[in-house]
Chains A and B, each alone.
Chain A
Amino acid sequence: MPSTLSNPLRLGLRQERVISPQCLVIFGASGDLTHRKLIPALFELYLQRRIPSEFGIVGCARRPWTDNEFREKMKVKLSNQISGKEREWEQFSNYLFYEPVDLQQSDHVVRLSRRLNEIDKTQATHGNRTFYLSVSPNFYASGCKALKAAGLLDDPKKSRLVIEKPFGRDYSSAKKLNKIVQSCAEESQIYRIDHYLGKETVQNILVLRFANTIFEPIWNRNYISSVQITSSETVGVEDRAGYYESSGALRDMLQNHMTQMLAVTAMEPPGRFEPEAIRNEKAKVLQASKLANENEPWNCCIRGQYGEGGNISNRLKGYRQEDGVNCNSTTETYIATKIFVDNWRWQGVPFYLRTGKRLPKRLGEIVLTFKDVPVHLFESTIINPVSNQLILRIQPNEGATFKFEVKSPGSGMKSRPVEMEFSYDESFGEPSDEGYVRLLADAMLSDPTLFTRSDEVEAAWKLYTPLIELMDNSPWKLPIYNYESMTWGPPESDQFISKDNIFWRRP
């Protein structure tokens, strides 16, 4: 078990970029995301001394709170994080302001504009602003229009707009939303957030691939036989039934987080480590991706929904029994799909993506399975020799494992698989930042590298359009299979992949 004590020689060595003076305006400040992710991330940035003294955080929502009420509510919600750092919180809370705003009311936005001008003066933030739309996706378009109308997005160098997922419900709505947002702000001002890209381990895929010579030559169809990308959660729908019923696993996870992982895994090396160069490559790979059989999309996807499960001491409800869920709901809580990337590098290599709720483990991983050796010279200690695998663990126990064959000890010449491990904990001993810490800082620093561009979002939706159309028009062709809570999805998912003589990795 690695020590959690910090490396004393490491203290103060990290030279993080300091955020320039500005005001961060959070719309939807009374919502979950604000107190669960955004304010904790900003407090963490403050503890890391990355927040300048000329700074302000303006919470906006319909509720008629005052600055002090907002500060108090955040303090209560963040009590665990604040514990032991009360003095720091007191200083940090001086940055917090609140303005009651209904984005649908133009006079509210005008009032907000006046308030921001006042805060500019008291906090010396020079009119530099980042607007964070943490509101219902239904209000993205009208929110952008309201900000534009109030002139708050006029200066492309001084104003930025962060938009949460989901960005649209399908290809056409995403395209329409992009058009509206781009009519209100320049693309360089728009930061479409996907918090998976803020994870250290997702970024590490880029470093692993492009900072080492050993991986890139074998990172292609000549050596890799298949790729599996898994993101599993142990939790059920919890208190998000309202949102989840209308989104499901495809819209909630597959189209964004999973597809971004696919893009990072499959993209070509960018010419330079610059935002546009990276986003160009990601967009290209997504544009080259397609369902394994677009003419028969029902053959390249399995949907599932969790049923009851657990054990006697901890019985778990099925999805349809959850509060707020329609008792006849056909929303999928599990989805597995097979994708091909139609380019020179990946032609013929299947990418299997799966995600689900109430699976046995919370994890995210990418598994690259290499081709079998042409001739098996050695007998294996197990039935069949296992192909080499590189497993990139996104969470938890972040790191990588390489599986390969070695000689089994003894007088014979039998082979057996072993694992070579890299663990962030064991190598660095320090927890990595939450994705939001990195992404909030990047947005405020005007660094769009880890944000999705309009063409990426559209390409990701386009990829799943045949499935979405099928789900909307002929759902019986894509049935929902039931699976017991805390199992690895419906048995049909195993059959789906075993047709290709491949098995889901059991992490």
Chain B
Amino acid sequence: MKPQLTLQTPLELPYQEISNYLNKLWISEDKDNSGANTFTLMVWQPAWLEQCLVQKGLVNGPITGNLSPEIIKVAKKFILDQGLPITTSLNSEELLNLLKENLSNEDFEDFRGQFFESSISTLNPRRLITLAPTINKNSDIKTFVSAYCPLSDTQAMQPICGDLVVIRGDSASISNKGLKIIDELSIDELPAWLWWNGSLDESPEIFEYFTNYGLRLIIDTALGSPQRCLKVLDQLNNLNKAINDLNWVRLKNWRESLAMIFDPPSRRPILDHITDIDIDIAGDHMIQALFLISWISDKLGWSFLRVERDTELTKIEFERINGEIISASINPLSLGNPSIHLGQVIGLRLISKISEVQKNNTCVILGCESVECMRLEAGGMADMELIEQVVPNSFSTSEYDVSKLLGSSRGNTSPLFENSIKIALQIFNGLNN
């Protein structure tokens, strides 16, 4: 369970009064403490899975927005009970649609917006605004407000305080009424972030509202259909909007591990003779794999040539500056215990042919576990010079990844990511043409 940010229960106020209340709150408080001079963080927090499970009585409330081990356990049992394949992801639309059937309109205690991991709260957000859409379609808007002062374990002269606002209601009421107060709640002199902690397929009008708002965006392209995700990325990129994608952030270990292999100068020539790249992913959501292959091709100066689908396999060809062809493939695998994030990379094989003699060539294998490395070794790879490494899965929570972005980035799109988006789009469009 994440720590509760506020010691007091947030005060429910009519949405028209929130802004005034907060202004007065900071004026009436200690004159020297006008709140943390940090940033505003808005969070789109649907927590559909948790809401459905609580509504169905499969887990006890209240709703917190926290994907707890209990929720994961119950949801996995539900998948099996309903006869869905064991490979079904917790974020799959199929699962959610099943859970949404025959739900009551009953309201449950909802504490979303009050629980944040300490990785975020220690950054002292000046204002935390949580948009909490309800699964109940007839839920009018309710707004709550509270001040908070995170206690630090290091010596501080004075606690640095912030406030939090929760805007709860069905998507329509959030869209019609909730967004109206966002303008009033903005603090001009501070940077503002939006963390869209849900699928990019949902509530496009609300998402679009925020993208036009000049916020620094944090999204997760593992959530939502690949078409929609890439379309969103394309639009945002063309509009020069600052984008941070958690699906890209989770590739960090893969990028780092691959780069690490080629840090010793003696290994650099291998990069000039790569002929094949194979990427295994869990499930069929291919965006993360597209980002990985796009990053490699961008860094090594390859041009995209063509792409085709061969049953489940996606085959891509690139051309090196000297005209040599590089064949790449993205291979979706069904895993019995899939990650909660769709389409995560689980293996990468890279073959570099420097000579006709097999043993003089090199095969680089990165796998999320040694079994995957062994799988990729099959087919005579061991005849080559073999460089293998297990890439540890990223076990960090989304909140932790978000806190890293909030704490370290200026919010602009990483140039590596920007270039990868362009190439990923080329490949994806080639697939659909």
Residues of A within 8 A of B (CB): 2-5, 7-13, 15, 17-18, 52, 425-429
Residue of A5, A15, A52 with most chain B CB atoms under a 10 A cut-off: A15
Interface string of B13-29 (1 = CB under 8 A from A): 00000000000000000
Residue of B256, B258, B262, B265 with most chain A CB atoms under a 10 A cut-off: B265
Q: How far is the CA of A180 from the CA of B408 in the complex (A)?
A: 35
Residue of B264, B266, B414 with most chain A CB atoms under a 10 A cut-off: B264
- Contact partner of B266 (CB less than 8 A), chosen from A2, A9, A10, A52, is A2
Beyond A17-B408, A18-B410, is A11–B264 a contact (Cβ under 8 Å)? no
Nearest CB on B from A304, distance (A): 40
Let me know if A13 and B255 touch, CB within 8 A: yes
Residues from chain B with a CB closer than 8 A to the CB of A10 are: 259, 262-263
Can you give 22 contacting A-B residue pairs, CB < 8 Å? A2-B264, A2-B265, A3-B266, A5-B265, A7-B263, A8-B262, A8-B300, A8-B301, A9-B259, A9-B262, A10-B259, A10-B263, A12-B415, A13-B255, A13-B256, A17-B408, A18-B408, A52-B410, A425-B265, A426-B264, A427-B263, A429-B263
For chain B, the bracket of interface size reads 20 to 34
B271 within 8 A of A: yes
Q: How far is the CA of A11 from the CA of B414 in the complex (A)?
A: 12
Let me know if A426 and B255 touch, CB within 8 A: no
Further 6 A-B residue pairs, CB within 8 A, beyond A2-B265, A13-B256: A7-B262, A7-B263, A10-B259, A13-B255, A18-B410, A429-B264
Nearest CB on B from A120, distance (A): 15
Nearest CB on A from B364, distance (A): 11
Q: How far is the CA of A18 from the CA of B414 in the complex (A)?
A: 13
Residues from chain B with a CB closer than 8 A to the CB of A9 are: 255, 258-259, 262, 271, 296, 299-300
B416 within 8 A of A: yes
Nearest CB on A from B268, distance (A): 6
Residues from chain B with a CB closer than 8 A to the CB of A18 are: 408, 410
Q: How far is the CA of A18 from the CA of B300 in the complex (A)?
A: 27
Nearest CB on A from B228, distance (A): 28
Interface residues of B in 148-196 (CB under 8 A from A): none
Q: How far is the CA of A13 from the CA of B249 in the complex (A)?
A: 12
Let me know if A13 and B416 touch, CB within 8 A: yes
Nearest CB on A from B270, distance (A): 11
Let me know if B268 and A5 touch, CB within 8 A: yes
Residues from chain B with a CB closer than 8 A to the CB of A427 are: 263-264
Beyond A8-B271, A9-B271, is A426–B256 a contact (Cβ under 8 Å)? no
Nearest CB on A from B405, distance (A): 11
Interface residues of B in 258-305 (CB under 8 A from A): 258-259, 262-266, 268, 271, 296, 299-301
Let me know if A3 and B265 touch, CB within 8 A: yes
Residues from chain A with a CB closer than 8 A to the CB of B300 are: 8-9
Residues from chain A with a CB closer than 8 A to the CB of B416 are: 12-13
- Contact partner of B299 (CB less than 8 A), chosen from A11, A15, A17, is A11
Residues of B within 8 A of A (CB): 255-256, 258-259, 262-266, 268, 271, 296, 299-301, 408, 410, 414-416
Residue of B255, B259, B408 with most chain A CB atoms under a 10 A cut-off: B259
Residues from chain B with a CB closer than 8 A to the CB of A2 are: 264-266
The 3 closest A-B pairs by CB, nearest first: A429-B265, A3-B265, A9-B259
Nearest CB on A from B317, distance (A): 20
Q: How far is the CA of A102 from the CA of B422 in the complex (A)?
A: 55
Let me know if B259 and A7 touch, CB within 8 A: yes
From DSSP, what is the main secondary structure of chain A's interface residues?
A: loop
Nearest CB on B from A421, distance (A): 13
Q: How far is the CA of A5 from the CA of B414 in the complex (A)?
A: 23
- Contact partner of A426 (CB less than 8 A), chosen from B265, B299, B410, B414, is B265
Residues from chain A with a CB closer than 8 A to the CB of B299 are: 8-9, 11
Q: How far is the CA of A1 from the CA of B220 in the complex (A)?
A: 44
Nearest residue in A to B300 (C-beta to C-beta)?
Answer: A8
Q: How far is the CA of A2 from the CA of B301 in the complex (A)?
A: 23
Residues from chain A with a CB closer than 8 A to the CB of B263 are: 7, 10, 427-429
Nearest residue in A to B255 (C-beta to C-beta)?
Answer: A13
Residue of B258, B263, B271, B410 with most chain A CB atoms under a 10 A cut-off: B263
Nearest residue in B to A427 (C-beta to C-beta)?
Answer: B264
Q: How far is the CA of A2 from the CA of B415 in the complex (A)?
A: 29
Q: How far is the CA of A17 from the CA of B408 in the complex (A)?
A: 6
Let me know if B268 and A7 touch, CB within 8 A: yes
Residues from chain B with a CB closer than 8 A to the CB of A11 are: 299
Residues from chain B with a CB closer than 8 A to the CB of A12 are: 414-416
Nearest residue in B to A126 (C-beta to C-beta)?
Answer: B37
Nearest CB on B from A159, distance (A): 15
Nearest residue in B to A53 (C-beta to C-beta)?
Answer: B410
Residues from chain B with a CB closer than 8 A to the CB of A13 are: 255-256, 259, 416
Q: How far is the CA of A12 from the CA of B259 in the complex (A)?
A: 11
Q: How far is the CA of A425 from the CA of B416 in the complex (A)?
A: 26
Nearest CB on A from B160, distance (A): 10
Nearest residue in B to A1 (C-beta to C-beta)?
Answer: B265
Q: How far is the CA of A425 from the CA of B301 in the complex (A)?
A: 25
Q: How far is the CA of A9 from the CA of B256 in the complex (A)?
A: 8
Nearest CB on B from A485, distance (A): 36
Nearest residue in B to A186 (C-beta to C-beta)?
Answer: B157
Nearest CB on B from A53, distance (A): 10
Q: How far is the CA of A53 from the CA of B332 in the complex (A)?
A: 44
Residues from chain A with a CB closer than 8 A to the CB of B296 are: 9
Let me know if A426 and B415 touch, CB within 8 A: no
Q: How far is the CA of A425 from the CA of B415 in the complex (A)?
A: 27
Nearest residue in B to A17 (C-beta to C-beta)?
Answer: B408
Nearest CB on B from A447, distance (A): 13
Residue of A3, A4, A425 with most chain B CB atoms under a 10 A cut-off: A3
Residues from chain B with a CB closer than 8 A to the CB of A4 are: 265
Q: How far is the CA of A3 from the CA of B259 in the complex (A)?
A: 16
Residues from chain B with a CB closer than 8 A to the CB of A7 are: 259, 262-263, 268
Nearest CB on A from B352, distance (A): 13
Nearest CB on B from A102, distance (A): 34
Nearest residue in B to A7 (C-beta to C-beta)?
Answer: B262
Residues from chain B with a CB closer than 8 A to the CB of A8 are: 262, 271, 299-301
Residues from chain A with a CB closer than 8 A to the CB of B268 are: 3, 5, 7, 429
Q: How far is the CA of A140 from the CA of B301 in the complex (A)?
A: 53
Nearest CB on A from B322, distance (A): 15
Nearest residue in A to B258 (C-beta to C-beta)?
Answer: A9
Let me know if A15 and B258 touch, CB within 8 A: no
Residues from chain A with a CB closer than 8 A to the CB of B264 are: 2, 426-429
Residues from chain A with a CB closer than 8 A to the CB of B262 are: 7-10
Nearest residue in B to A10 (C-beta to C-beta)?
Answer: B259
Residues from chain A with a CB closer than 8 A to the CB of B271 are: 8-9
Nearest residue in A to B416 (C-beta to C-beta)?
Answer: A12
Q: How far is the CA of A11 from the CA of B271 in the complex (A)?
A: 14
Q: How far is the CA of A10 from the CA of B295 in the complex (A)?
A: 11
Nearest CB on A from B423, distance (A): 15
Let me know if A426 and B408 touch, CB within 8 A: no
Nearest CB on B from A76, distance (A): 33
Q: How far is the CA of A145 from the CA of B408 in the complex (A)?
A: 35
Residues from chain A with a CB closer than 8 A to the CB of B301 are: 8
Residues from chain B with a CB closer than 8 A to the CB of A5 are: 265, 268
Residue of A4, A5, A11, A52 with most chain B CB atoms under a 10 A cut-off: A11
Q: How far is the CA of A18 from the CA of B410 in the complex (A)?
A: 8
Q: How far is the CA of A2 from the CA of B299 in the complex (A)?
A: 21
Nearest CB on A from B69, distance (A): 27
